[in-house]
C-alpha cells in the first residue's frame, strides 16, 4: 500500500519503505492500451516548399508494391552517441516500411534490449535470443525470430546475454562476420533488415557494419552531436576498406528537431553544410509522443497513426525505398 504525502498542499502517492535487502520490484509504467485521443492531424510538408533542412523538399511518391520479397537490404542504424533516436528510428522506420508492403526484420543488436522493450517484449524473460543463435550452432535464426504487433515486421530479440558475446567473440576466427553469417538463412525472406546498434563502435557495431549494405545515422539536433560523426564516418570507411566493400552511407536523419529554437535550426544548417545530399529531407521533430510509444510498446504508426511523428517516419520510409 502506498501512503499519501503532502507537499505544499499537493498530495503524492509514496511507496512504503522496503525492508533492507529486499530488492524492489521493477516499476511498471503503463498507459491506456489505445492510442491517445488527441491525435493531431499535423500538416504534412508539401514538395516544393523549403523544408527544415533549408532545401526545397523533393517529391517522394508512395512506393510501388513489390511483387515478391527479398533478398533483403541490410541497414545498420548506427551512432555511437547514446540517446539520439537509433531504437526509435528502427522501430518506426520498420513499421512504416511494413505499411508500404515491405517485409521487415528488426534485429536488436544492443544488449540493453530497448528495441525488444519498445515492441512490448520483456527481453529478460526470453529463453533464446540472438545471443543463442550467435554462440550455439544448434540454434537456428528462424527458431528465435518472433512476430510483432505489426504485420510483416518480425524481431530478432536480444537481452543482456549479448554483452557476453562481445567478449566471447574476440577470440573467434572471422569474428567481424558473425552477424552476416547469422542472418544469411533468412535474407531472402525479407525486403529490409534493420539492425539497431548499441551506442559504441565496439565489435557488435563492427559486425553490424560488416553485414550491412547501408548505414542510416540518426543525428540529434544538438551541438555536441556533430562531434562524434567524423569518427563514425571514419569507422564506416575503415569497415568498407577492410571488411565490406559494398557498405554505403544511406543517409543521415536529423532527430529531436525543435523548429521553435534557433539552436535546432543552426545545428540543422551545420549538418546540411557538412554532409550535403546524404541528409534526408525528412526531419524528425522532438515530441513527447515517442517516449509514450515506448511505454505503449508499439510503433507511433500504430499508437498515433495520424500524428506528425508517424507521418515523418512514413516520409523517411519513402526516401529510404527511393535511395
Ligand X SMILES: Nc1ncnc2c1ncn2[C@@H]1O[C@H](COP(=O)(O)OP(=O)(O)OP(=O)(O)O)[C@@H](O)[C@H]1O
Binding site for ligand X (CB under 6 A): 82-88, 110, 114, 199, 255-256, 284, 286-287, 290-291, 294
Number of residues that bind Mg ion (CB under 5 A): 3
Pull the grid cell for residue 101: 508492403
Task: Identify which of residues 45 and 255 has a Cβ nearer to ligand X in the complex.
Answer: 255
Determine whether 258 is exposed, middle or buried from the number of CB atoms within 10 Å of its CB (0-12, 13-18, 19+): middle
Residue 256: CB minimum distance to ligand X, A: 5
Task: Identify which of residues 96 and 186 has a Cβ nearer to ligand X in the complex.
Answer: 96
- 26 Cβ contact partners less than 8 Å away, ≥ 6 residues apart: none
b/e map of 138-156 (b: 16 or more CB within 10 Å)?
ebebeebbeebebebbbbb
Task: Identify which of residues 15 and 83 has a Cβ nearer to Mg ion in the complex.
Answer: 83
Task: Identify which of residues 186 and 308 has a Cβ nearer to ligand X in the complex.
Answer: 308
Asked if 178 interacts with Mg ion (CB under 5 A), we say no
The listed partner (ligand X, Mg ion, none) that binds 202, CB under 5 to 8 Å by sort, is: none
Asked if 88 interacts with Mg ion (CB under 5 A), we say no
The listed partner (ligand X, Mg ion, none) that binds 236, CB under 5 to 8 Å by sort, is: none
The listed partner (ligand X, Mg ion, none) that binds 287, CB under 5 to 8 Å by sort, is: ligand X
**How far does CA 272 lie from the centroid of its chain?**
22
φ, ψ of residue 135 to 5 degrees: the values are: -95, -20
Contact stretch for Mg ion (CB under 5 A) within 41-49, 87-95, 96-104, 120-128 = 87-95
Residue number closest to Mg ion, CB atom: 87
Asked if 87 interacts with Mg ion (CB under 5 A), we say yes
- 20 Cβ contact partners less than 8 Å away, ≥ 6 residues apart: none
C-alpha–C-alpha distance, residues 162 and 144, integer Å: 14
Residue 20: CB minimum distance to ligand X, A: 32
The listed partner (Mg ion, ligand X, none) that binds 182, CB under 5 to 8 Å by sort, is: none
Residue 6: CB minimum distance to ligand X, A: 31
Using alpha carbons, select from 49, 89, 38, 139 the residue that is nearest to residue 290. 89
Residue 108: CB minimum distance to ligand X, A: 10
The listed partner (ligand X, Mg ion, none) that binds 176, CB under 5 to 8 Å by sort, is: none
DSSP 241-252: HHT-TT-EEEEE
Asked if 309 contacts 89 with a C-beta cutoff of 8 angstroms, the reply is: no
Residue 103: CB minimum distance to ligand X, A: 23
Asked if 81 interacts with Mg ion (CB under 5 A), we say no
Residue 132: CB atoms within 10 Å: 19
Asked if 86 interacts with Mg ion (CB under 5 A), we say yes
Asked if 124 contacts 158 with a C-beta cutoff of 8 angstroms, the reply is: no
Amino acid at each position: 500500500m502506498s501512503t499519501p504525502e503532502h507537499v505544499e498542499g499537493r498530495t503524492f502517492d509514496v511507496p512504503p519503505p522496503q525492508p533492507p535487502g529486499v530488492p524492489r520490484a521493477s516499476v511498471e509504467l503503463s498507459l491506456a492500451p489505445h492510442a491517445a485521443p488527441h491525435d493531431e492531424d499535423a500538416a504534412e510538408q508539401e514538395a516544393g516548399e523549403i523544408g527544415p533542412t533549408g532545401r526545397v523538399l523533393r517529391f517522394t511518391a508512395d512506393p510501388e508494391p513489390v511483387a515478391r520479397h527479398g533478398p533483403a537490404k541490410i541497414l545498420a542504424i548506427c551512432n555511437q552517441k547514446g540517446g539520439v533516436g537509433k531504437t526509435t528510428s528502427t522501430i518506426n522506420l520498420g513499421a512504416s516500411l511494413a505499411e508500404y508492403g515491405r517485409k521487415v526484420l528488426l534485429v536488436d543488436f544492443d544488449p540493453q534490449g530497448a528495441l525488444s522493450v519498445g515492441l512490448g517484449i520483456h527481453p529478460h524473460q526470453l529463453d533464446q535470443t540472438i545471443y543463442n543463435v550467435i554462440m550455439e550452432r544448434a540454434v537456428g535464426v528462424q527458431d528465435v525470430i518472433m512476430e510483432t504487433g505489426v504485420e510483416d515486421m518480425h524481431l530478432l530479440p536480444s537481452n543482456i546475454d549479448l554483452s557476453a558475446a562481445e567478449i566471447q567473440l574476440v577470440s573467434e576466427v572471422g569474428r567481424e562476420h558473425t552477424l552476416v553469417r547469422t542472418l544469411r538463412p533468412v535474407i531472402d525472406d525479407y525486403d529490409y533488415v534493420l539492425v539497431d546498434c548499441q551506442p559504441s563502435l565496439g565489435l557488435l557495431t563492427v559486425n553490424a557494419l560488416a553485414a550491412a549494405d547501408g548505414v542510416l545515422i540518426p543525428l540529434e539536433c544538438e551541438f555536441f552531436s556533430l562531434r562524434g560523426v567524423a569518427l563514425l564516418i571514419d569507422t564506416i570507411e575503415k569497415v568498407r576498406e577492410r571488411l565490406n566493400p559494398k557498405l554505403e552511407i544511406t543517409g543521415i536523419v536529423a532527430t529531436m528537431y525543435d523548429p521553435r529554437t534557433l539552436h535546432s535550426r543552426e545545428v540543422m544548417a551545420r549538418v546540411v553544410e557538412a554532409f550535403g545530399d546524404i541528409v534526408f529531407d525528412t526531419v524528425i521533430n522532438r515530441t513527447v509522443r515517442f517516449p509514450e510509444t515506448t511505454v505503449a510498446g508499439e510503433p507511433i504508426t500504430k499508437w498515433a497513426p495520424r500524428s506528425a511523428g508517424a507521418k515523418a517516419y512514413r516520409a523517411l520510409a519513402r526516401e529510404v525505398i527511393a535511395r
